[in-house]
Amino acid sequence: MTPAPSSDSGPTATSFPIDRYCADRSRSCGEPCAGTPGLDRRFLLVGAPGPWPAEAVDYAEGIQAEAVAARARLVLVRHPMLTRAHRAVVADGGIDWYERADEGALAIESPLDGPMLAVCTHARQDLCCGRYGASLVTALRPHLPATLECSHLGGDRFAPNGLMLPSGILLGRLDAVSAPDLASTIRSGSVDPRMFRGRGGQAPHDAAVEAEIRRHTGVHDLDVPVRVEWDEAEASFTGRVGDVAVSGTLSPGTRYSGRLTCSAETDGYRHAVDVTVRTSSPGRASTPAV
């Protein structure tokens, strides 16, 4: 079990400014996206050309039952190479493609080549996803052809958001201006810790710690896992990433409050944590709020 910081207010409390767009509000007050991975460990991608309703389950009859049967979160995806028949289950770092037909499901090879990124462009779910996600897809696809549009991934205020495939890693605060660099990072099997929200189903504090360990050590290669053991009583950890031994602590950080989505009618809040990481070799310690 991962130790959790106190639910009381942390060292500071920050309220989002009044602004129509939740992503602008969150960004302007410096809220980090690390440690916001969501609960879903499995995703069912469903080919969905054309416009989408506000709720993905309303796109077509029976797709919610498919997602339940797959024990996965339903995610609509759009790409010129995909049809309504295309499906993919993303789980445990892998992806299995198949086609739906009257006689059942037929396993197929991936219709898309190379590593993929699904970018949320679900404007009917949140204005920021449409505003920022669509421009990212336009900028990114020339550099990463397997860039998909997708429906709601959660964390609207971190738009544009993306789901790395097949790893199932959630990214936030992506940047259309830096699309060539983002494409290069994805093709190399790496992750930029500044954009790392976490792995699907990962505990928020574990995701925050992984982001900071990768930032601190410079080990961005996803083939090099981050392994951590917790001392719950001390809210501290020891671990390793590749050949680098690390240790650190977790403490309550800034409490961010305000309208967490563009359409929210009431305030919500998120209590971030501060992560301190040290390496066993001579180097630096770091303590950003994540």
* Domains, in order of start, for the chain: 1-32+212-290 (no CATH), 38-201 (3.40.30.10)
Q: Is the pLDDT of residue 212 over 50?
A: yes
CA–CA separation, 60 vs 49, rounded Å?
A: 11
Considering only 130-134, 254-258, 277-281, which range has the smallest mean pLDDT? 277-281
Name the band, by pLDDT with cuts 50, 70 and 90, for residue 2: very low
CA angle 174, 179, 180 (to 5 degrees): 145
pLDDT higher than 90, residue 128? yes
Lowest-confidence segment of 24-28, 41-45, 198-202, 283-287 by average pLDDT:
283-287
At 16 the pLDDT is 65
Q: Residue 174 and residue 160: Cα distance in Å, rounded?
A: 5
Token pair listed for 282? 């001579």
Angle at 11 between CA 6 and CA 12, to 5 degrees: 115
The per-residue b/e assignment along 265-277, b for 16 or more CB within 10 angstroms, e otherwise, is: eeeeebbbbbbbb
The pLDDT of 12-25, averaged and rounded, is: 78
Cβ-contact 57, 130 below 8 angstroms: no
Secondary structure (3-state) at 141: coil
Task: Note the pLDDT of residue 201.
Answer: 92
SS3 214: helix
- Report d(CA 55, CA 122) in Å as an integer: 9
Residues 6+ apart with CB under 8 A from 174: 119, 136, 160, 161, 162, 182, 195
Strand partners, 198: 170
Counting residues of the chain whose pLDDT is more than 70, the rounded percentage is 91
Q: Could you check whether the bond before residue 160 is cis, i.e. omega within 30 degrees of 0?
A: yes
Reported as a single tens digit per residue, the pLDDT across 55-101 is: 999 999 999 999 999 999 999 999 999 999 999 999 999 999 999 98
Report the chain's C-alpha Rg in angstroms. Answer: 19
Q: How confident is the model at residue 156 (pLDDT cuts 50, 70, 90)?
A: very high
Maximum CA extent, the chain: 63
The answer to whether the Cα torsion of 203, 35, 151, 169 is positive or negative is: negative
State how far the Cα of 193 lies from the Cα of 235, in Å rounded to an integer.
Answer: 22
DSSP state of 190: B
Amino acid at 157: R
| Cβ 150 vs Cβ 191: under 8 Å | no
pLDDT digits over 257-281, tens only?
888 999 998 989 998 999 999 997 5
